[in-house]
Every structure is written in structure tokens, then in C-alpha cells.
Amino acid sequence: MHVRRSLLDLDDLSAPDLHYILDYAERIESSPDVRTLEGVACANLFFEQSTRTFASFNLAQLRLGAHLVNLSPKDLSLATKGETIEDTVITLAAMGFSLLVVRHSEAGFPIRVAKAFDGHVVNAGDGGRAHPTQALLDLYTLCREFGPLAGRRIAIVGDIAHSRVAHSLIHGIRRLDGEVTLVGPQSFATEDDAADGVLISRDFDAVLTDVDAVVLLRIQHERFDAMPLSMEEYTRDFQLNAQRLAKLATHAIVLHPGPYNRGIELDESVLSYAGWRYARQVAAGVPIRMAVLDFLVHGMR
Ligand code: NCD
């Protein structure tokens, strides 16, 4: 029998699971009429703002034929009536919900939900910890471009320390045997994230000539108190601009999970660069999330 499962972190997927989801998303992209969650009750609990992730989970659930309820946190009894999140999800399970998608500013919050909920839980981002479906759609975009990632070098640039996107993506690239270079000032690119196959550099210009892809990140101001350097220093050293784009190899691509801040981690020239893959990442979010939801409910087939 298929074991009930959740996606709280990329670690929840074995190597065959990961490849299955990437391949399945590609099949869905070419023929999206996959109504395999017909009648499955899903609830989305987003305690933190979201545009891309929220909209693409909604679209994925609707395309799969699921019954869908979006619960706004301000309307939940736990906000004002003292109900715990554990009791909230026990209630949802009793009502027949079998899948929850959860985003929260607290690292580990979806793990608490999964412990209390008799059903599947998908982490849609928890604090600075993990964002597994974003990593999957980033990996999907990279693999569509390059095929296998072995021998490919991907630079992740900016506020890595506070980025759940970066933490999940570093892990995902390494799982597919790609090489990672983390680029940022000391308190954004720390030794905590260095590992086998994961280098750290403070010199963005030197890294640019040697990479197949650059992943830019927003500075996650909401997760720390004071900027470790002035914005002028940050943009001088770490902004991707026309001069830096000119240093990239002609095949190199640029990714960003969104939302991007013009004039900070990138300037306008990036938005018209031939290798700018932001729209492809966003587009991949729907088939990837359809593949994930189908896989959690039905397993590999
Ligand atoms: C990010 C997030 O919320 O983690 N965006 C996303 O989900 N696509 C990144 C960010 O907020 O900078």
C-alpha cells in the first residue's frame, strides 16, 4: 500500500522520487489535462504573504480537479480564539481534508502541522529554513536548459544566510551532482552553508566568467535587524548589471525566485538579457506543483 507522505524538505524525496517528479512535471507541461486529484480536499494555509507560490499551488490544485479551500490566517480561530495549530489541523482532517499546503515565518512550523495532521503536508516555505517546491522548479529550469547538472557550476548570489530558497536549492543542486558557489558578503554567505561541492566567494566578478548559471536572491530584510553593509556597497559588489552580464559565458542563464528588486540585486539590463529565465521558472511552478501533489497522494506510477 502507498504510504501517506509529506514534502517538508527535499530530504523527504529519494533520488528516484526526485527524478520522477522532474520527469512527470515535464510530461504534464506537454499534456496538462491530468485530473488525478478529482474530489481530493486540499486546504492552503498561508500565514505569510505570497504571490507566485500561492497562485501556482491554487492553479495546480484546480487543474488536478481537487476540492480547494483557501484559509486566510486572520479568519482562523487560532488567531483570536486560542485554538492551537494542532487542534486546527485535527479539525480539518475530521472534515475530510487530506492535503494541506502551509507557509509560515517560523522555521519548522509545517513539521508541527505534519505531526498533528492525518494527511499530506506540503511546505510552501518556512522562515529561512526550506522551500522544497521552489527548489524543484529551479532544478527543473536548470535541467531543461542543461540536461544533467554534473559538471555544471551554479552561483547563488546575495543573502543566502536568510534564504529558504537558497537552502533548499543548494541541497537540490548537490543531489543532482552540480557544483555550487555562494557569493555574498560575510554575514550573507557564511561558512555554515559551505560543504562538499559548495564553495564561498566574496568576488562576484571573478566568479562570473566560470559559471553556467547565476541565481539571484532578494535581501530578506524581514529576517534580520541591520544590514551588514551600506546599500551602495552591496550594489557595487553584488548587483548583477550590464557590465557583469558581459562577463558571463554566452550560454549562461540567470534565475531569480522572485520577487526581485530592481536597482538592488539586479538592474534593468538583466530583465532583457537573453538568458534571463525568471518567466520559465514561474511557468514551471504549476506543472512541478501538480507533479508533487499527485505524487504525494498516489505515489509513483
Ligand atoms: C521567495 C519566498 O517567499 O521564499 N519567493 C518565492 O517563494 N518564490 C523568496 C523571497 O521572498 O525573496
* Amino acid 104: pLDDT: 97
Say yes or no to pLDDT of 44 above 50: yes
| 218 touches ligand 1 (CB under 6 Å) | yes
Chain mean pLDDT for the chain: 96
Centroid of ligand 1 to alpha carbon of 231 (angstroms) = 20
Q: Find the 260 Cα to ligand 1 centroid distance in Å.
A: 9
Average pLDDT over residues 32-44: 95
- Of 72-81, 87-96, 164-173, 202-211, minimum mean pLDDT range: 72-81
pLDDT digits (tens, 9 = 90+) for 174-189: 999 999 999 999 999 9
| pLDDT per position as a tens digit, 249-300 | 999 999 999 999 999 999 999 999 999 999 999 999 999 999 999 999 999 9
Q: Per residue in 48-62, pLDDT tens?
A: 999 999 999 999 999
Name the pLDDT band for 81 (thresholds 50, 70, 90): confident
Half-sphere exposure of 268 (CA within 13 A, CB side): 0
Ligand 1 atom with the smallest distance to the CA of 53 is 7
pLDDT for 1: 43
Using the structure block, give the residue that is written with the C-alpha cell 498516489: 298
Ranges of beta strands (E only) in 11-146 are 41-46, 67-71, 99-104, 120-126
Q: Ligand 1 within 6 A of 67 CB?
A: no
Residue 49 and residue 105: Cα distance in Å, rounded? 10
pLDDT reported for residue 4: 57
Pocket lining: 168 vs ligand 1, CB cutoff 6 Å = no
Q: Is 119 in the pocket of ligand 1 (CB under 6 A)?
A: no
Query: Which residue among 165, 218, 223, 261 is best mutated to probe the pocket of ligand 1, counting the most ligand atoms within 8 A of its Cβ?
Result: 165
pLDDT digits (tens, 9 = 90+) for 107-154: 999 999 999 999 999 999 999 999 999 999 999 999 999 999 999 999
Using CA positions, which residue lies closest to atom 7 of ligand 1? Answer: 53
DSSP 105: S
Task: Quote the cell numbers at residue 45.
Answer: 494555509
Ligand 1 pocket: which of 47, 49, 53 to mutate (most atoms within 8 A of CB): 53
* Exposed/middle/buried for residue 180 (C-beta within 10 Å: 0-12, 13-18, 19+): buried
Task: Summarize pLDDT for 110-119 with one digit per residue, the tens.
Answer: 999 999 999 9
Confidence at residue 75, expressed as pLDDT on a 0 to 100 scale: 80
Judge if the beta carbon of residue 134 lies within 6 A of ligand 1: yes
